[in-house]
Amino acid sequence: MRIGIPAETRPGETRVAATPETVKKLAARHQLVVQAGAGERSSVPDSAYAAAGATIGSAADALGADLVLKVRAPDAAERAQMHAGAVLVGMLNPFDRDTLAALADARLTAFALEAAPRITRAQSLDVLSSQANIAGYKAVMLAANTYQRFMPMLMTAAGTVKAARVLIMGVGVAGLQAIATAKRLGAVIEASDVRPPVKEQVESLGAKFIDVPYLTDEEREIAKGIGGYARPMPADWMRRQAELVHERARLADIIVTTALIPGRPAPVLISEETVKAMKPGSVIVDMAIEQGGNCPLTELGKTVVKHGVSIIGEPNLAALVAADASQFYARNVLDFLKLILDKDDQLVIDRADEIVAATLMCMDGELLRK
Ligand code: NAD
């Protein structure tokens, strides 16, 4: 089979869907075409792909393959270079119905890897986790870079500085890595989440959990989430959380917000009132900005200073650690391919397979994502 790896065209997208390591594994049984320069922004030269067994070609060569591996969904110009019946694998955004409808119209067989269920068998192809892990790390790096004080406590002949106080809002994969990274830098950390099991995880990383008690059975039930993901909490719980967060935010030097609810706008967790109450020179990194942000003052793609607080709205943080992000992503893709290629390396789409069924967005012109 011909497998194509085009360069990503979306602004700010530095990642690539295959690395020399994954190309080498695939090139043993398939014909690989990598678009010239596809790996450049992930520090992978064309020569490394060629040495791994790929042919270096044009965008049309890579997009015209039978199986196209991408990071982001192709735009109209890219779709026009793909052929009907081709298989597309990428982070296609399962909630973007317009794009999925366009892929169906182009008669592509498209898999959105973000839609894989959070089950043990899918762990090695879990792109949300592999990329959120990197993004959580980078969020703390960006915060430390903007923050004009030390993160660790320091006692020097010239004086003593206190450890930075870091507040993490939303402790999924990104939040856990943000806690671990801030801890390594010597910060004192508090964290909040809606889901009950998170408390133990937060404490095991040496951070303090901000407990917002569940007062009703309804709150307790909703807080459990679905499939590991959060659901929108009742207004009363959100109000109580906001009050507690307001108090903790006043003491914080850095806040990293990561709270997401799949397919919905991100919940507002840091109000303008709370930002006003924060210390001058504090920093907020709003990792939820692509879903509208956890703070209403965050601006997409910008760092703004509001009420003396720097608010970082950098989207796509994983792309700022492009080499490792691509390496993890490419491995996720390779693991996914094992589900749709049989032992003779023929394409087999087994819709009885839970992971295949969940990730398959369209086939034969039909939009399958409901
Ligand atoms: P996510 O990116 O969807 O959301 C980030 C966090 O925000 C979540 O922890 C969520 O509970 C939290 N959140 C939502 N609303 C909030 C609010 N109002 N206040 C505070 N926090 C709020 O989450 P994720 O990183 O994708 O992880 C979701 C879960 O799935 C985690 O428990 C993770 O460990 C689990 N997971 C399981 C597997 C597996 O079993 N294979 C793989 C990956 C992740």
Neighbouring-strand partners of residue 155: 160
Q: How far is the CA of 85 from the centre of ligand 1 (A)?
A: 35
Which atom of ligand 1 lies closest to the CA of 119?
A: 41
Which letter does DSSP use for residue 295 in this model?
Answer: S
Indicate whether residue 172 lines ligand 1 (CB < 6 A): yes
Mutate which of 125, 177, 194 to test ligand 1's pocket (most atoms within 8 Å of Cβ)? 194
Residues 272-308 have pLDDT tens digits of: 999 999 999 999 999 999 999 999 999 999 999 999 9
Give all strands (DSSP E) within the chain, no chain letters.
2-5, 31-35, 55-57, 67-72, 87-91, 109-112, 154-156, 159-161, 165-169, 188-192, 208-209, 254-257, 283-286, 303-306, 309-312, 360-363, 366-367
Indicate whether residue 209 lines ligand 1 (CB < 6 A): no
Phi-psi bin for 146: left (phi > 0), alpha (psi -120 to 50), beta?
alpha
- DSSP three-state, residue 43: coil
Token readout for 137 is: 């790390």
Active site residue 231: no
Query: What mean pLDDT comes out for the span 14-26?
Result: 98
pTM: 0.95
Quote the ipTM score: 0.95
Residue 91, pLDDT > 90, answer yes
Indicate whether residue 123 lines ligand 1 (CB < 6 A): yes
Q: How far is the CA of 227 from the centre of ligand 1 (A)?
A: 10
Residues 220-267 have pLDDT tens digits of: 999 999 888 899 999 999 999 999 999 999 999 999 999 999 989 999
Question: What number of other Cβ atoms are within 10 A of residue 83's Cβ?
Answer: 13
The one-letter amino acid code at 346 reads Q
Residues 164-215 have pLDDT tens digits of: 999 999 999 999 999 999 999 999 999 999 998 899 999 999 999 999 999 9
Cα-flanking dihedrals φ and ψ of residue 210, to 5°? -90, 105
The one-letter amino acid code at 86 reads A
In angstroms, rounded to a whole number, what is the distance separating the alpha carbons of residues 22 and 16? 11
In angstroms, rounded to a whole number, what is the distance separating the alpha carbons of residues 251 and 271? 15
Token readout for 310 is: 């720097």
